[in-house]
Amino acid sequence: MSDVEKTRSASPAPLEWEYAPAPEARDIVSLQERYGLFIGGEQVEPRTGEWYSTISPATEEHLAEIATAGADDVDIAVQSARDAFENGWSQLPGSERAKHIFRIARILLERSREFAVAESLNGGKPIRESRDVDVPISAAHFFYYAGWADKLEYAFPNRRPRPLGVAGQIIPWNFPLLMLAWKIAPALACGNTIVLKPSHTTPLTALLFTDVCRQAGLPPGVVNIVTGDGHTGAALVRHPGIDKIAFTGSTEVGKGIQRAIAGTGKRLTLELGGKAANIVFDDAALDQAIEGIVNGIFFNQGEVCCAGSRLLVQESVSEQVIAKLKRRMGTLRVGDPLDKNTDIGAINSREQLDRITELVESGREEGAEIFQPECRLPERGFWFAPTVFTNVAQSYRIAQEEIFGPVLSVLTFRTPEEAVEKANNTAYGLSAGVWTEKGSRFLWMAERLRAGVVWGNTFNRFDPASPFGGYKESGFGREGGRHGLDAYLRFE
Ligand code: NDP
């Protein structure tokens, strides 16, 4: 036995060690007891007289009372947006609109810690993500579209771009601030005014944002925020004073909206669900790919429309990839969203947890093999352990339906043609990822994948300059980039 080996065998077994908690301080966010509707630049009481409680999904603690807007409230908000459109905002020179949008971006960055904490508190996502992704990319969207506000004629040469009027914007709970930024920034840059409805489970950052609008000196009525549930959203969709609906959410509700506005002349963009394939070839840098797979499905608890929820791995490396993936999953820390060490936070709501649980059960029943690393889940709140399914057939519900949770289904393939066929075998078409060392193979794949975004050797990358949107049941229209302006303009 060598000296080194002797020392090793003599030393005690390595101790189990835990990360010390590193909680982000909560006191940077001071919440009001109650939040009214934000209409005409002020908080107003809802005509309905109804309020509901918004909670933290990690602890189920009550955070604040939120107003429920009814059809009358929506009507007042739309009227306020119309007045602001006609009496100033749409006639303002682009360079003046740009100043406001730029100010919003700057204030968001100045208050970034506050927004990150509020986002994690109300939505359940890890502070590491809200701090490093949601808030900075939201600000980046405002910076980016501030730059376009006075250059619309250059964006669309030889055409005369004009704003549409009042935009009704309905956003989901998975990226409350980021979706708000994706919607509001281009609409303002193009000279529209807005009535926005956040999801009823995550209204807080939208309500904090109203303060940013005031700080930035945005004229009253240019941005209005109406809170409430799907009924509030439906009232906004139906309102005759709305010129355009921009919706992000489930395919089912998206289809209903499309039916509701058919024949009204309202413009529509829909950003709906997804069931993205993350495709790993045998020549890929596998350790890097593992990080991409983890990011693809466990980022934001997998509650991401473009999540890489189907892993397609080339048969020759599948055992190796699955073994590495399981090992890596064992290192993921699930728990307090406000702890800076946390990788996977709380599921957004009890309803969403029930939906995930039901789909995972269907996976077991249909015959897939489940793996979950050992992890202690907190007793209160809504939690789901990171999960991977192997032995998955394409027909299983877990391979077809959007789970919107930290659940990955693994399928294998032998040839690039088979990978394309399996990747495209879905009703959705929002995103895809390809892991390979060969540039030519990446381009070959990208040409054939029916997805709005195809990432190469990376996943879940968002840039305000890059258009994002889907094919098929993932919706239509693009957000981001120059394309994102088109959705808020008409041409004379
Ligand atoms: P929804 O589509 O119901 O919610 C999206 C937004 O639409 C929310 O603001 C919601 O309000 C609002 N809304 C609900 N019903 C109507 C309606 N009839 N008319 C107008 N607006 C409406 O998504 P869920 O929260 O119910 O999630 C269900 C599933 O949808 C998830 O499991 C996931 O698969 C998918 N989803 C996809 C998202 C994406 O980014 N593509 C985002 C969220 C969910 P409120 O939340 O207040 O009810």
Active site residue 306: no
- Tokens for 466? 């890059």
Q: Is the CB of 165 under 6 A from ligand 1?
A: no
Catalytic residue among 24, 271, 303, 473: 271
Q: Is the CB of 75 under 6 A from ligand 1?
A: no
Nearest to 321 by CA among 346, 343, 296: 296
- Strand, helix or coil for residue 311: strand
Residues 107-152 pLDDT 10s? 999 999 999 999 999 999 999 999 999 999 999 999 999 999 999 9
Cβ atoms of 344 and 332 closer than 8 Å: yes
CA distances from 78 to 84, 244, 375, 382, 383 (A): 10, 12, 48, 36, 38
Q: Is the CB of 253 under 6 A from ligand 1?
A: yes
Nearest to 488 by CA among 149, 258, 177, 261: 149
What is the Å distance from ligand 1's center to 377 Cα?
A: 26
Q: Is the CB of 205 under 6 A from ligand 1?
A: no
Cα angle 331, 296, 290 (rounded to 5 degrees) comes to 50
What strand order describes the sheet that includes 310-314? 369-371, 387-390, 407-413, 310-314, 277-280, 431-435, 453-456
Nearest to 214 by CA among 199, 227, 224, 202: 224
Active site residue 271: yes
What is the Å distance from ligand 1's center to 272 Cα?
A: 9
Mutate which of 74, 170, 226 to test ligand 1's pocket (most atoms within 8 Å of Cβ)? 170
Cα angle 149, 153, 154 (rounded to 5 degrees) comes to 90
What is the Å distance from ligand 1's center to 273 Cα?
A: 10
Cβ atoms of 191 and 243 closer than 8 Å: no
Secondary structure (DSSP) of 238-286: H-TT-SEEEEES-HHHHHHHHHHHTTS--EEEEE-----EEEE-TTS-H
CA 260 to chain centre: 25
pTM comes to 0.95
- Strand, helix or coil for residue 310: strand
Dihedral sign from CA coordinates of 427, 290, 22, 116: negative
**What is the band of 14 on the pLDDT scale with cuts at 50, 70, 90?**
low
Q: How far apart are CA 91 and CA 85, in angstroms?
A: 8
Residue nearest to atom 12 of ligand 1 (CA): 230
**In the chain, what percentage of residues exceed pLDDT 90?**
95
Q: Is the CB of 29 under 6 A from ligand 1?
A: no
Virtual torsion, Cα 257, 297, 311, 411, nearest 10 deg:
-80
Q: Is the CB of 423 under 6 A from ligand 1?
A: no
**What is the band of 284 on the pLDDT scale with cuts at 50, 70, 90?**
very high
Residues 430-476 pLDDT 10s? 999 999 999 999 999 999 999 999 999 999 999 999 999 999 999 99
Q: How far apart are CA 419 and CA 412, in angstroms?
A: 8
Residue nearest to atom 42 of ligand 1 (CA): 249
Q: Is the CB of 404 under 6 A from ligand 1?
A: yes
What is the Å distance from ligand 1's center to 68 Cα?
A: 16
What is the Å distance from ligand 1's center to 260 Cα?
A: 16
Q: How far apart are CA 182 and CA 464, in angstroms?
A: 8
Residue nearest to atom 26 of ligand 1 (CA): 250
**What is the band of 17 on the pLDDT scale with cuts at 50, 70, 90?**
confident
Average pLDDT rounded to a whole number, residues 192-220: 98
Residues 373-423 pLDDT 10s? 998 899 999 999 999 999 999 999 999 999 999 999 999 999 999 999 999
Residue nearest to atom 46 of ligand 1 (CA): 199
Residue nearest to atom 27 of ligand 1 (CA): 250
Catalytic residue among 119, 305, 473, 479: 305
What is the Å distance from ligand 1's center to 247 Cα?
A: 9
* 457 CB-contact burial (10 Å; exposed 0-12 / middle 13-18 / buried 19+): middle
Upper half-sphere CA count for residue 354 (Cβ side, 13 Å): 3
Q: How far apart are CA 163 and CA 38, in angstroms?
A: 23
